[in-house]
């Protein structure tokens, strides 16, 4: 380019492609104008600096084109690192971290402190104003102790698992979220809740994202994971599932392992009024934009 003007055929071709992309995205920008999109962020994408910066820029872009993004983040690897530094041993039951009184303080420090402000900073540096909060702020996420049972395969006796201060959302008060979005800010929520007595609980970030999306009546819940989405028996991506098909997939064993709680969270959010929940590979560049602003999307959409 010369003097800021298009100077060569290559410059013109590049600019033409940019204009074509913008024109193609316009119908989708209109579709989601004013919509609330809840994004669950975590996994390997959070740990890679370039991908993290790109995520922040994409969330800022959503705000700048008239969408109201709300981010809920995890932080398992960061918690593990801090516990290792403090020589605190972690114990897991069925994939859930047993959280005692000492550990819940570390969890809150990492999630509501270090990670929360890091994610908010990614978005703010990209040109939008993000505010980091936890579910304890304004009693946003009222939690209750998570109770799980497990059947002993030998005796067939069901026993209650004590996970300590691991909770689940009982109620989401959206007033803090509405206050932030109404002021043009992007809420970034750490998955820490509080019960009626003031006790802090560590809550799974996927579960919090689903509960927040349901309480907001979100247009989309985007669950960024480390896989492409739900896969069939041939390991091919399933682009779309109804809630009924999710239930059948779990019963048949097609959906198994760690994917079960994710699809169950999505299905529950959809039953509660979320228009669609999508499981996406958060390691892909611009994955949120690819899902929202293209005709086919890029993950597995779960709908009513």
- pLDDT of residue 265 exceeding 80: yes
Backbone angles phi, psi at 88, to 5 degrees: -105, 125
pTM over 0.75: yes
* pLDDT band per the 50, 70, 90 thresholds, residue 95: low
Q: Delineate the domains of the chain, giving CATH numbers in brackets.
A: 33-303 (3.40.1160.10)
Helices (H), 160-216: 175-182, 205-216
% helix, strand, coil for the chain, step of 5: 45, 25, 30
Supply the mean pLDDT for the chain.
90
Condensed to tens digits (0 to 9), the pLDDT of residues 20-55 reads: 877 887 888 888 899 999 999 987 777 788 999 999
Q: What does the pLDDT read at residue 36?
A: 97
- 165-179, 226-240, 249-263 — most confident range: 165-179
Cα distance between residue 198 and residue 201, in whole Å: 9
Cα distance between residue 211 and residue 247, in whole Å: 19
* pLDDT band per the 50, 70, 90 thresholds, residue 61: very high
Condensed to tens digits (0 to 9), the pLDDT of residues 159-202 reads: 777 888 999 999 999 999 999 999 999 999 999 999 999 999 99
What H or E segment, with its residue span, contains residue 145?
strand 141-145
């Amino acid at each position: 380019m010369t003097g800021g003007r298009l100077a060569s055929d290559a410059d013109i071709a590049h600019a033409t492609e940019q204009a074509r992309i913008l024109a193609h995205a316009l119908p989708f920008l209109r579709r989601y104008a004013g919509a609330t999109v809840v994004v669950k962020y975590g996994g390997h994408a959070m740990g890679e600096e370039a991908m993290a910066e790109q995520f922040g820029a994409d969330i800022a872009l959503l705000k700048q084109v008239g969408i109201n993004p709300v981010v809920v983040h995890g932080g398992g690897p960061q918690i593990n690192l801090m516990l290792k530094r403090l020589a605190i041993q972690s114990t897991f039951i069925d994939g859930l971290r047993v959280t005692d009184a000492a550990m819940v303080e570390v969890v809150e420090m990492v999630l509501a402190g270090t990670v929360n402000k890091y994610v908010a900073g990614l978005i703010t540096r990209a040109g939008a104003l993000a505010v980091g909060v936890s579910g304890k702020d304004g009693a946003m996420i009222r939690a209750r102790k998570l109770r799980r049972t497990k059947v002993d395969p030998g005796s067939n006796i069901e026993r209650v698992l004590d996970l300590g201060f691991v909770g689940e959302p009982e109620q989401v008060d959206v007033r803090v979220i509405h206050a932030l979005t109404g002021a043009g800010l992007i809420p970034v929520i750490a998955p820490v809740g509080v019960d009626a007595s003031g006790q802090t609980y560590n809550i799974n970030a996927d579960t919090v994202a689903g509960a927040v999306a349901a309480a907001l009546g979100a247009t989309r819940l985007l669950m960024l994971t480390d896989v492409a989405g739900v896969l069939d028996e041939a390991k091919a991506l399933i682009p779309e599932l109804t809630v009924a098909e999710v239930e059948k997939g779990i019963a048949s064993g097609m959906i198994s392992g760690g994917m079960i709680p994710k699809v169950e969270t999505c299905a529950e959010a959809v039953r509660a009024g979320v228009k669609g929940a999508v499981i996406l590979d958060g390691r892909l560049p611009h994955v949120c934009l690819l899902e929202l602003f293209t005709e086919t999307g890029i993950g597995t959409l779960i709908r009513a």
